[in-house]
Amino acid sequence: MAGVTVARPPLPAVLALPGKAFATLTRWPVLPLGVLTLLVATAIFAPLLAPHDPLRASLAKRNIPPAWTAKGTWEHPLGTDPVGRDILSRLIFGARVSLLVVGISLATGLLVGTGLGLIAGYFGGIVDEVISRVVDIWLALPFIVVALAAVIVFGQSFGIMVGLLALLAWAPFVRNVRAEVMVLKSRDYVAMAKVAGASTLRILVRHILPGVINTVIVIATLRVGQLILFEAILSFLGAGIPPPTPAWGVMVADGRNYVHDAWWVSFFPGMAIFLVVMSLNFLGDWIRDRFDPRLRQV
């Protein structure tokens, strides 16, 4: 009969599971968090997970292919590099180096950039003009050239690498935090705090900073992936972590002359960089959509 709706029976529980799993994967950043959790766990427990000493070389074992190939061996599951060092062990310890370098540089850049953004947005005038022009000039500089010049002058070291990445990290925080503060400082609760006699420092820390913390978290999340990528680029160019320290960029650089004969030397660290940066970018996009009501999709 026309106009009669026939009720469909519900799907069996077994058939409904794939749909629920897909909905969970699209609603929550399950895969990016899984990759990042694996990265952090690998970095923390690197001495327990690495099957070999990442610095120990053996020319008799140079360029051994991965274990699943014809000439491979499970003693070195991902093969060895041109001087006989185990690729898997160097990958595991490289995760620790990358996280340490990026963590220190990001924390430094976050504190400096957020502080300057608060000052520029709140005070305005000549203070804002000076800080904004410094940011514009710094962003206009070719960072790779600056990094190469710094390495030539001061030499390769862990401290130089952290300093260079910190200099790269602070500028995006200034611009975004400044824009948020310029809106928040005109709100009624800030005016009431001024009338109540609150100091400038208290207003910035207790009343304005909580309003921009979401923006800071999003920028930091997106910036981590970019910093890991820049660390790898600088190490590849010889301006990053000094050898023989196992860093992913250094490992890619070690295998660039052996791509045809020993592709695995560059492939596995390059894939690790790709997966981590991609996961961090996805996680940053999810956090931005979660915190910004104008973009909220989850």
CATH 1.10.3720.10 for the 31-49+62-291 domain, yes or no: yes
Residue with the two structure tokens 């862990």: 158
Q: How far apart, in Å, are the Cα atoms of 35 and each of 78, 79, 221, 231, 282?
A: 19, 22, 14, 19, 11
Distance CA 154, CA 146 (A): 12
* 73, 52 contact by CB (below 8 A): no
pLDDT tens-digit map of 109-140: 889 999 999 999 888 889 989 999 999 888 88
For the chain, the average pLDDT equals: 81
Give yes or no for residue 11 having a pLDDT over 50. no
CA separation for the pair 27, 112 (Å, rounded): 34
Query: Minimal CA–CA distance to 226: which of 276, 153, 293?
Result: 276
How far apart are the C-alpha atoms of 28 and 297, rounded to whole Å? 11
The first and second tokens of residue 148, run together, are: 């190469």
For residue 4, pLDDT over 80 is answered with no
Round to whole Å and give the CA distance between 282 and 290: 12
Portion of the chain with pLDDT greater than 90, in percent: 5
Q: Give residue-wise pLDDT tens across range 19-48.
A: 565 556 567 778 888 888 888 888 888 888
